Structure 1
Amino acid sequence: MDKSEYKIKIIGAGLSGLIAAKVLEDHGYAPEIYEASDSVGGRIKTDLVEGYQLDRGFQVLLSAYPKASQYLDYKTLELQELLPGAVIYENGASKTIGDPLRAKSLVLPTIFSGIGTFSDKLKILNLYTALKKLSVKAIFERKETTSLAYLQEKGFSEEIINKFFKPFFSGIYLEPNLETSSRMFEFVFKMFGEGLAVIPKKGMGEISKQLAENLKNTKIHFNTPVKQVKEGEIILASEEVIHTHATIIATEASALVSNLKNQETAWKSCHNFYFETEKRAIEKPIIGLIADKDAIINNIFYHTAVATESNGGKELLSVTVVKQTDLSETKLQKKVEQDLKKYCGVGDARFLKHYSIKKALPKIGSLHYDIDPTETQLTDTIFLAGDQLLNSSQNAAMLSGERAALGLIQGLKI
């Protein structure tokens, strides 16, 4: 049988599914993707609201991610760089700290910020240096503890942990107490040290769109949810049965495969609010962190601090909430607006949109960087992909898609 005649189906058009399709195409196959929604991207999408580009949840791409630099055309994405640092809000005042080695404009603000001791700043520099010498693979083989315990063991002061590390990494981990594995901390810290946090000019959704546009022999079926995946077939929600030679499940698999019913992925959630403002409280393209423990908001970012393809005419402010809350949507919005005014001095925010993201990041116990292609195989013809197999990152999503495709190709040759 010619490779292009194999009936290979992929469930999900997120990063994992799109990369899996690309790898299969590169090996001569012509897969089909079944996507439940009306567009590619999974958790990485951008909406246009009143002329503003709203990413579904504040996200950035770390340019040092190995798989991102392999599969994405950075130049075409017109990546906009964020400054390597943060504006920290506390007690109604703001202070700026950052990496003065990579952003000269942050030298004096960091020195005079008063956040953390001189010893803290030396420890950060030493940590950058130490992690630069370690391979990513080596990081994920190191002893695991929590990120908080790791920072404490490294001797960082409680002040810099509470005012910088906690709010900064809470926005990445989507949990407020730094309970996430120290392996993830070292990996992310290394990626920040070796590259930059960037956003495509057209928004984060452009990453998914570019991957989809690079597919030449893949058919994508939108608005086509899958009900069940069996050996040699997939059953759509419409009850239509599609026969397959092999299937990659690039989404949560527990609801699709009968023997995985009790192995559901646990998820972290967050809230993301967008507001229009007359002016920016932070002029530079740098994240704002709210260090007050009583604040419900974790971070803010002005998307209009960088170039955007579409702009509603004023300033676009993103606000992220990672703390768990029982507040109704209306009360949560009111609390967010109160916090913006109280902690950040933003009193003119006009509400645009709220995203309640229930499945923002998978909760994973032991973290890994890589997976052997054979380990993605669930049954003779079913393979798994997704960042939940490895670690919560865009890099892991891409890598797992690649590995699942290679595992499938290997399985077909046997």
Structure 2
Amino acid sequence: MLDAIIVGGGISGLRCAIEFARQGVSYKLCESNDHFGGRCSSQYFDGFVLDRGFQVLLDSYTEVTSLIELDSLNFKTFMSGAMVHTSRGNRFLLDPSKDKRKLWAFWKMLTSDVGTFRDKWRLFRLKMQKGLERTQRTESASVADYLAGSFTSRFNSEFMSPFWESVFLADLQSVPATHFFELFPFFASGSGGLPENGMQAIPDSMVDLLDKNQLVLNKAAKQITENAVEFEDGELIAAKNVVLAVPYSKAQDLLAADDKNHHGRKASCIYYEAPEPPFELPILFLTGCDQKFVRTVSIPTNLHAGYSSNGNALICVGLAPGLDANQAEIRAETKNVLRELFSAVVDDWQVITHMQIPDALPPIDCKPLFPTDSISVCGDYLSVPSINNALGSGRATALRVIETL
């Protein structure tokens, strides 16, 4: 009998498998899809690398850097900060401490009218404290409440709110401030970027650390018992321990949870190709909260030309929360907004595909799951969703299982 069977081949399940392999634990990992990585994955479509929605990897994620050499992925970072679209035109808000052109970045930051001097000083102080500004007030507040009490309304509307909405994929009034303080230190100390071959390179690098004979694709779990997993193809695999490294909704189903919440946080994006990018810098473009359709614009080919095989620019447009990219009228209105933002050159942009991702992040209010002595769960829904916490959960779960063997 196996020591453990892992259900789910996202990065949390893969990290669990790596720890089992290092400790000599016999295991099998089964993934229902035709690829590993779960939410951290990419598609390869008509010569383009399309990440599963707008994603970045932070080089401050210690769970990643302790496992993978980022240089081996040819990892490159975006400029730290953003180009912000305002009613007064496009503005830069940059972090001079992370920019090679420090004097230029400092001048851009100092002269930008996105935020007052107090806003920038407050953000700088928060960065130096690495977000450790937890008080009784912020522990019980939402992110929106915390930002409203800390920065001016214009700074929040033009920068802080649209940026953090794109991180949490939710109305900030519904996100606890503790989630902000969990993630802010990583953004403060690191820079976001992309591997040369897309986000799929992260799980692919993890798979390279494992025995391929212990990994199975296209194998979906049907139900579990204390010491076995029955799969949709009828096979029953026995093991001393079962680890559920599946999305929160699937874990609820397999554990027969009574109070189910299947409403994960959604993300919508549209991928375009264009003869030329609307801007050349490797930087995130943000629109303010007053913009009801487009929230972010990123251009992966400004960072890695290999995201496109034909030399055209690849443009990822992230839609505002609540919009459905499957609706033709939403896509049409998005194109109109892009035309207003970047002029008539947008007429030359061609849609590659659109993505409506139903479980881009787990629900904010995940209900507790109640596994047993021989059934464990792992995933970033157990804390604040992030790549770092997904990996940390997989590692920690493996260590707990190992203690029982």
Would you call these one fold, judging by a TM-score over 0.5?
A: yes
Cross-structure match for 1:279: 276
- Give the counterpart of 2:198 among 171, 184, 203: 203
Cross-structure match for 1:370: none
Q: 2:28 & 2:325 partners in 1: Cα distance?
A: 42
| 1:385 to 2:371 alignment | no
SS in structure 2 opposite 1:143?
Answer: helix
Any stretches of 5+ residues in structure 2 without a counterpart? none
Cross-structure match for 2:97: 101
Q: 1:336 & 1:164 partners in 2: Cα distance?
A: 20
| 1:120 to 2:116 alignment | no
1:163, distance to aligned residue in structure 2 (A): 0.4
- 1:338-376, CA deviations, whole angstroms, 9 ceiling, x for partnerless residues? 111113335122100111100000123499xxxxxxx99
- Give the counterpart of 1:14 among 10, 15, 24: 10
Matches within 5 A, 1:68-79: 68-79=64-75
Cross-structure match for 1:400: 393
1:223, distance to aligned residue in structure 2 (A): 0.7
Cross-structure match for 2:332: 334
Q: 1:343 & 1:400 partners in 2: Cα distance?
A: 41
1:109, distance to aligned residue in structure 2 (A): 2.3
SS in structure 1 opposite 2:13?
Answer: helix
Cross-structure match for 2:60: 64
Aligned letter for 1:304?
A: T
**Any conservation in 2 of the 1:233–1:243 contact (CA below 8 Å)?**
yes
Aligned letter for 1:126?
A: R
Q: 1:139 & 1:13 partners in 2: Cα distance?
A: 38
1:76, distance to aligned residue in structure 2 (A): 0.6
Matches within 5 A, 1:29-48: 29-48=25-44
Cross-structure match for 2:316: 318
Q: 2:137 & 2:306 partners in 1: Cα distance?
A: 41
1:214, distance to aligned residue in structure 2 (A): 0.8
Q: 1:302 & 1:330 partners in 2: Cα distance?
A: 23
Cross-structure match for 1:364: 364
| 1:147 to 2:143 alignment | yes
Q: 1:294 & 1:201 partners in 2: Cα distance?
A: 31
**Any conservation in 2 of the 1:63–1:197 contact (CA below 8 Å)?**
yes
| 1:352 to 2:352 alignment | yes
Q: 2:337 & 2:204 partners in 1: Cα distance?
A: 35
- Residues 169 and 331 (structure 1), Cα distance of their counterparts in 2 relative to 1, 3 Å cut: same
SS in structure 2 opposite 1:8?
Answer: strand
Q: 1:366 & 1:360 partners in 2: Cα distance?
A: 14
- Give the counterpart of 2:21 among 8, 22, 25: 25
1:334, distance to aligned residue in structure 2 (A): 0.9
Cross-structure match for 1:304: 301
- 1:160-199, CA deviations, whole angstroms, 9 ceiling, x for partnerless residues? 0110001111110112445322122123221112111111
Matches within 5 A, 1:184-263: 184-216=179-211, 219-251=214-246, 252=248, 253-258=251-256, 260-263=257-260
Any stretches of 5+ residues in structure 1 without a counterpart? 368-374
**Any conservation in 1 of the 2:252–2:369 contact (CA below 8 Å)?**
no
**Any conservation in 1 of the 2:301–2:307 contact (CA below 8 Å)?**
no
- 1:309-333, CA deviations, whole angstroms, 9 ceiling, x for partnerless residues? 3523111100111321367522221
**Any conservation in 1 of the 2:142–2:172 contact (CA below 8 Å)?**
no
Q: How many residues align?
A: 396
| 1:161 to 2:156 alignment | yes
